[in-house]
Structure 1
Amino acid sequence: MRPTFHPFLVNHPFDDPCLFINFLFENRALAFDLGEINNLAPRDILKLTHIFVSHTHIDHFAGFDRFLRLALGRDRKVHLFGPENFLSNISGKLGAYTWNLTDRYEKSLRLQVTEVTSRGMRTQWYRCQDRFAPTAPPRSSPWTGTLLEAPGFTISAVILDHGTPCLGFCLKERFHINIKKEALTARGLEPGPWLQSFKKALYEQAPPNTSITVPAGDTLQAFGLAALAQDIALITPGQKIVYITDVAFSPDNVERIMAFARNADHLFIEAYFLDADREAAREKKHLTAAQAGELAGRSGARRFSVFHVSPRYMDRLPEIEQEARQAYDRFRT
């Protein structure tokens, strides 16, 4: 069965963090963190509809300028989420440039930016044709843990400690819809955009008798949603993808991460130091490889990948991976 989401780390483990998540058969993508993104093709960067930033240390946010440069002058609406002070960080980025010509652009880039804190969320709009100057105060909303609810998935966050608030992210697919190609062939149906409408109706729990119009050769056929689903679809549990970076191995962080990452299908977790240097990790509020593996094992993650490794270990990545794997195997629940 082909997964809906295809996550991959944009850069080498020693380079800036960015987890890019492609959507199968859709011209859209998400990113967790936005370090340098020169390894991404422009067409992929322009797929981004939502960007989730753990914190604004430069290695996690330097790619914003690259994204902005490519998206400018296009008719795009992009959502960004980040931790406390994120609105001032975005305003500072945008305020560093001169926008005296953008009010003449025919196409307008719009940024909907949300700052996440334990006290609540604040959302501000920045519009290219307004020279990225806000035209209204930020809109406030309560903090529930959920950042995005889409028909097929949700994105949630947890607030962790890195000496500054740092967000962890979770993408959870509601359920996965596998299309049985042999059933399509038997009915004389061909894959196409109608499948997205079909899946959307299932995710939104539309009434069973909802009509789904399907091209069949030179004609159109109408099917009831429930009958069509029973014939051509196999429903399986959805994926859970979790992203954790730049956190201290403190009791509070450990408790929150274990609950947040419980039974993840794929956990992406930083492993900045070897455990022999755990005192340096404690001082800099990062994880060691052994701590990363322990968290992956104790949370019951089915698969995990380490990233964001200190350059001091440039020739020792196998040690990092081995140390994490040994801890994972030892603590696997």
Structure 2
Amino acid sequence: MRPTLHPRLLNGRTGDPAVFVEAMHAPGAVLFDCGDLSALSPGHLLRVEALCVSHAHMDHWADLDRLLRPLVGREKTLRLVGPPGLAARLHHRMRSYTWNLVDRIAAELVLEVTEVHPAPPFPRSRLRLRTAFAAEEMPPLAPGPDGALLTVGALRLHAALLDHGTPSLGFALREAVHLNVWRSRLDAAGLPTGPWLAGLKAAVAAGLADDHPVPVFARPAEARGAPRRPLGALRDLVGVSPGQRIAYLTDFADTPANRAAAIDLARGADTLFIEAPFLAADAAIAADRMHLTTAAAGVIARAAGVRRVEPFHLSPRYHGQEAAWISEIEAAFGRPLVPQG
């Protein structure tokens, strides 16, 4: 199965947390935390449709301005999901700037914030460039039947509230189903590759009727007036399999309640990004600072049945000891880690 989701740990295992997730053939991207976004180009930043903030400690939140700077002057809605108090923090952050000339900017930048509280419905706020980012209350959010907070294209975002001495969110990004076009069947049918295949997959994912017309074209310029074929004649070109899952877990104490919530959120993930700041011998320090050890991270990953673990947030106290750090995680996880690449 060719993967749809392509996550990237932006600052390696020792840098400030940030994971950029893009989906193949999809314009939008998702960002988990924004401690340091210097690895992303303006083009990548412009693609971000959802920013998922675990909590507002500086190493997870410091580079928000780098994300927002290229958005000013563009028509854009950026959705943010975070813990209680995120909307107020965002409001004060934006009000630290002077916005006296916003009436000269025609394009509207909108920031929509959802705060995850212990129980739904969850409060939402809107902050708009046109009003100098004054906070406006929105109708509260009731999660969907599967618990999803929002969708980004074909992806659904889930979150769990964890305890880090302050509320800290874990996140999971799930593809409902994975759709893959069989190239051999496409060639056998004499049909071209091209942007029309995105429409075909969208129609299959939506469960549209067999008589739904699907335009067939190799290049965008050919879309208007392109010949159409009924969906029923094209379904066998698309393979359907369970969708991919990515989970992101950082900054929470190793308690039974936190472990249960983390395991449930990460269950079955293809890739789990999980913090592991401390070696097992320093479990007392980890507990005092409400973080995980290597052993706890590996056990959580194994219990969740994830396919691949990508640990991060290694404490600088272990400079030069990454091999030992990885070895402890592998021992607890029960198999080797996939090398970074």
Letter in 2 for 1:103: D
Structure 2 runs not aligned, ≥5 long: 336-341
Q: Give the match's secondary structure for 1:156.
A: strand
Q: CA deviation at 1:102?
A: 1.5
Determine the structure 1 residue equivalent to 2:105: 105
Distance 1:216 1:119 in 2: 48
CA distance in 2, matches of 1:305, 1:69: 30
Identity %: 38
Out of 281, 297, 302, the position equivalent to 1:292 is 297
The one-letter code matched in structure 2 to 1:322 is S
**Separation (CA, whole Å) in 1 of partners of 2:258 and 2:270:** 20
Partner of 2:338: none
Q: Aligned ranges for residues 1-333 of structure 1 at < 5 Å? A: 1-120=1-120, 121-134=122-135, 136-142=136-142, 145-149=147-151, 152-215=154-217, 220-230=226-236, 232-329=237-334
Q: Judging changes above 3 Å, is the alpha-carbon distance between structure 1 residues 143 and 25 closer, same or farther for their aligned structure 2 residues?
A: closer
Give yes or no for contact 1:10–1:37 (8 Å, CA) kept in 2.
Answer: yes
Alpha-carbon contact 2:50-2:152 (below 8 Å) kept? no
Cα distance, 1:59–1:268 mapped onto 2, change above 3 Å: same
- State how far apart, in whole Å, the 2-side matches of 1:151 and 1:224 are: 24
State the distance in 1 between where 2:218 and 2:280 align. 60
Conservation of the 8 A alpha-carbon contact between 1:179 and 1:233: yes
2:210–2:231 contact (8 Å) kept in structure 1: yes
1:22–1:141 CA distance, 2 compared to 1 (3 A): closer
* AA aligned opposite 1:209: D
Aligned-partner Cα distance in 2 for 1:147–1:154: 7
How many residues end up aligned between the 2 structures?
A: 328
Residues in 2 aligned to 1:49 and 1:16: alpha-carbon distance in whole angstroms: 21
Native 8 Å contact 1:103 1:131 kept in 2:
no
Match of 2:226, SS state, is strand
TM-score (norm 2): 0.91
Cα distance in 2 for partners of 1:112, 1:204 equals 26
Query: TM-score, length-normalised on structure 1?
Result: 0.93
Local SS of the residue matching 1:137 = strand
Deviation at 1:284, TM superposition (A): 0.6
